[in-house]
Chains A and B, each alone.
Chain A
Amino acid sequence: MAESRYETKILVVDDEKLVRMVISAKLRQAGYECVAVGDVATALATLKAAPKTFVAVVSDIVMGDIDGFVFRDMVRGIKLSIPFFFLTALDPEEGGGFLMRILEDPQSYYLPKSVKTDVLINRVRRVVASRHIETFINRKMEDDRRSMDLASHIQHSMLPVRAIMTPRGFYTTWWRPMDAVSGDLYEAMQFGYGCFLYVLGDIQGHGTSAALAMTAVQSFLKTLMRREGAPYMSPAEIANMLQRFFRANLADVSYMTALICIHRPLSGDVLWISCGAPDLVVIDGGKLLETNPGHLGGLPVGLMPDTEYTEADVITTKLSQTAVCAAYTDGLLDISQDQSDGGSLPIGTVLNLMTGLSEDARTKGANPAFLAKLMTACSELGYTKFNDDVTLLTFGARLPLDGVYESTFSLTPAEIDAAAQEMCEWCGANGWPEAAVGIVQLVFEEKLMNVYDHGFDDRTRLHEVASVRLVRRGDSAELTVWDNGSPEPSIAVVTGDSATAFDMANSEFSNHGRGRLMVRELCDMTERNRYGTLNETVYHIPFGKHGNEVVG
């Protein structure tokens, strides 16, 4: 008997009743359920009604209405890979090339009408059994994919928000697992007068075991940070706590490289320790600073049982107000070019790109896009193949830029509203015309609520932030929004005037549930860029006139 855990129904198609009776009887004897029909139209309707219940099709080639090969093509449109047995009285020696046409399709098989019962049953059983194995594997893979998706979400939810901007400092992060889950982690905690504690960790290896260790370490760090006085521990003390946690819980399983930094914007320094991790990168005024000339630091956390980190391992780096600090896990240098002989990303290239982009980010208030632009630049150089998990962190003191408003906030209606109020107050304090402030506020709220409503699913929205930058350019405003939501549909305007483009945009955005007509009315032009998963939208908002040119 055929296995009952899986479907056992076979569709038999032949315009001769006798053949249908014989084949069905033979298959039923082997435990298969048969649905026998005399024409292609009925066969297609039967298959369409319940495509998942059939495990195979047995069909004649020469039929009155439609040729068996045409029928096969139609079946492939309904149930792509179902095994298809051609049962025919045609003799391969007669020519006509029908055997070749059968073999064109990897899931098609030949059966002569004279086939003996045991041969028919054996062939069908073998093919169907292999399909059942394939189905089992596919179901298992689908289950695994769902589990990994959930694990990935749990990991994501354990990480702090992607970016923060406070009156004294900022940080942004970029976290990408090689597979669904990551052995990399970062933790960020604000304490004291604008101080921040950062931990960037890289569990040895990647995949499930590294990811499980990552969640354990991330949980431990969160608990540790909530202990009284914990934020005021030195980087060496935190490293020792991590070392003890590793040796008690993950000894002989894994170890972790870690960079632990305490940034104190008011005193202008960063205290940091490298436990086998790449050194902290500090860029100031377009130049790289030498941060660790004495090659200080310790072994990876948990690698050896007797490791003890001391204050002598801790480095203090003085920072100017304009300096940018960057940290990365060594997976960054494991990104290779896609072609087979492509090498890995050289550290010199990374540092050159960082230096150039950090200057731009600092002087133009584009810090939230710094890391996403860095990774896009690497990918444009051909470094697109990730061979390890990669995490980057950048932080620095808040650098107020004349005439530039910057903000990073959680994507909730309350936070969006609060950010809008703060932005309007800033505009008022900087002498912007009242009417203009109202227009900018409308665009701001429309855009951010649109991202909130349409950019994320319910579970990811909770952890998301957006960043904005507002600059006055004569009689217009330039509002830049950075978010990690799903990309907006882009309207390609090949020909036609702006009114036509506007109509197209309206129609397209309406179809996507993103009716942003007001934004289009209020802006002269909208630019959209995407850096990896980061959307950059720039609105050019005239104070006095209402154009509607669309670029995208």
Chain B
Amino acid sequence: MQQLNDEEVVKEIYDEYVKSVAEKIVELHATLGAEDWVPLDRTAHTLKGNALAAGDEDIATLAIEIRKAAALKDAETCRKLLAKIEEMSKLL
């Protein structure tokens, strides 16, 4: 949210970002559990977009890695990356 001057707006966007990350983590768990790779990729892509829009490059990078692992149908790597995203979300 760099360069936005209105603190109230920044707060609203931040709250929405925290909420959206939590929602995407739930969706990632569900699709990964079912090894449903296409929706998993789609959710990771959305998470990446939201993170980039919010300026959170760490979570965006992890979302990109999940998409790469999903393309290889590598469930183990996906789980590890998802765990890291969960840890980071707790710091938001």
Chain A residues packing against B (C-beta within 8 Å):
16-19, 21-23, 25-26, 29, 60, 62, 88-91, 112-114, 116-118
A-B contact pairs, 20 of them (CB 8 A): A16-B46, A17-B16, A18-B13, A18-B54, A19-B53, A21-B16, A22-B53, A23-B53, A25-B9, A29-B6, A88-B49, A89-B46, A90-B45, A112-B52, A113-B53, A114-B57, A116-B2, A116-B3, A117-B3, A118-B3
Complex Cα spacing A62 to B46, Å: 9
Instruction: Write out the residue numbers on chain B whose beta carbons fall within 8 Å of the beta carbon of A29.
Output: 3-6
Chain B residues packing against A (C-beta within 8 Å):
1-6, 9-10, 12-13, 16-17, 20, 42, 45-46, 48-50, 52-55, 57, 60, 64
A89:B4 contact, CB within 8 angstroms: no
A114:B52 contact, CB within 8 angstroms: yes
CB nearest neighbor in B for A121: B3
Complex Cα spacing A19 to B50, Å: 6
Instruction: Write out the residue numbers on chain B whose beta carbons fall within 8 Å of the beta carbon of A17.
Output: 16, 20
A16:B49 contact, CB within 8 angstroms: yes
Instruction: Write out the residue numbers on chain B whose beta carbons fall within 8 Å of the beta carbon of A89.
Output: 45-46, 48-49, 52
B53:A18 contact, CB within 8 angstroms: yes
Instruction: Write out the residue numbers on chain B whose beta carbons fall within 8 Å of the beta carbon of A90.
Output: 45
What would 7 more interface pairs be, CB under 8 Å, given A16-B46, A89-B49, A116-B3? A16-B50, A18-B53, A23-B53, A26-B3, A29-B6, A113-B53, A117-B2
Complex Cα spacing A117 to B46, Å: 20
Instruction: Write out the residue numbers on chain A whose beta carbons fall within 8 Å of the beta carbon of B6.
Output: 25, 29
Complex Cα spacing A114 to B16, Å: 17
CB nearest neighbor in B for A25: B9
Cross-chain contact of A25 among B4, B46, B60 (Cβ < 8 A): B4
CB nearest neighbor in A for B46: A16
A114:B60 contact, CB within 8 angstroms: yes
Q: How far is the CB of A330 from chain B (nearest CB, A)?
A: 67
Q: How far is the CB of B53 from chain A (nearest CB, A)?
A: 4
Cross-chain contact of B17 among A18, A91, A117 (Cβ < 8 A): A18
CB nearest neighbor in B for A91: B64
Instruction: Write out the residue numbers on chain A whose beta carbons fall within 8 Å of the beta carbon of B48.
Output: 89, 113
CB nearest neighbor in A for B49: A89
Among A62, A90, A114, the one with the most B-chain Cβ atoms within 10 Å of its Cβ is A114
Cross-chain contact of A22 among B5, B13, B42, B64 (Cβ < 8 A): B13
CB nearest neighbor in A for B19: A18
Closest 9 CB pairs of A and B: A89-B49, A114-B52, A117-B3, A113-B52, A22-B53, A19-B53, A113-B49, A18-B50, A25-B9
Q: How far is the CB of B77 from chain A (nearest CB, A)?
A: 18
Complex Cα spacing A114 to B52, Å: 4
Among A17, A22, A91, A118, the one with the most B-chain Cβ atoms within 10 Å of its Cβ is A22
Complex Cα spacing A16 to B89, Å: 18
CB nearest neighbor in A for B57: A114
Q: How far is the CB of A10 from chain B (nearest CB, A)?
A: 16
Complex Cα spacing A114 to B48, Å: 10
Contact A26-B60, Cβ < 8 Å, known A18-B50, A21-B12, A89-B45: no
Q: How far is the CB of B50 from chain A (nearest CB, A)?
A: 5
Instruction: Write out the residue numbers on chain A whose beta carbons fall within 8 Å of the beta carbon of B12.
Output: 21
Instruction: Write out the residue numbers on chain B whose beta carbons fall within 8 Å of the beta carbon of A62.
Output: 42, 45
Complex Cα spacing A62 to B2, Å: 25
Complex Cα spacing A88 to B50, Å: 10
Instruction: Write out the residue numbers on chain A whose beta carbons fall within 8 Å of the beta carbon of B42.
Output: 62
Instruction: Write out the residue numbers on chain B whose beta carbons fall within 8 Å of the beta carbon of A118.
Output: 3
Instruction: Write out the residue numbers on chain A whose beta carbons fall within 8 Å of the beta carbon of B50.
Output: 16, 18-19
Q: How far is the CB of A315 from chain B (nearest CB, A)?
A: 84
Q: How far is the CB of B67 from chain A (nearest CB, A)?
A: 9
Instruction: Write out the residue numbers on chain B whose beta carbons fall within 8 Å of the beta carbon of A25.
Output: 4, 6, 9-10, 13
A117:B49 contact, CB within 8 angstroms: no
Instruction: Write out the residue numbers on chain A whose beta carbons fall within 8 Å of the beta carbon of B4.
Output: 25-26, 29, 117
Cross-chain contact of B55 among A19, A88, A114 (Cβ < 8 A): A114
Instruction: Write out the residue numbers on chain B whose beta carbons fall within 8 Å of the beta carbon of A26.
Output: 3-4
Complex Cα spacing A21 to B11, Å: 11
Q: How far is the CB of B91 from chain A (nearest CB, A)?
A: 18
Complex Cα spacing A23 to B54, Å: 10
Instruction: Write out the residue numbers on chain B whose beta carbons fall within 8 Å of the beta carbon of A18.
Output: 13, 16-17, 20, 50, 53-54
Q: How far is the CB of A17 from chain B (nearest CB, A)?
A: 6
Complex Cα spacing A118 to B9, Å: 17
Q: How far is the CB of B80 from chain A (nearest CB, A)?
A: 22
Q: How far is the CB of B78 from chain A (nearest CB, A)?
A: 18
A21:B45 contact, CB within 8 angstroms: no
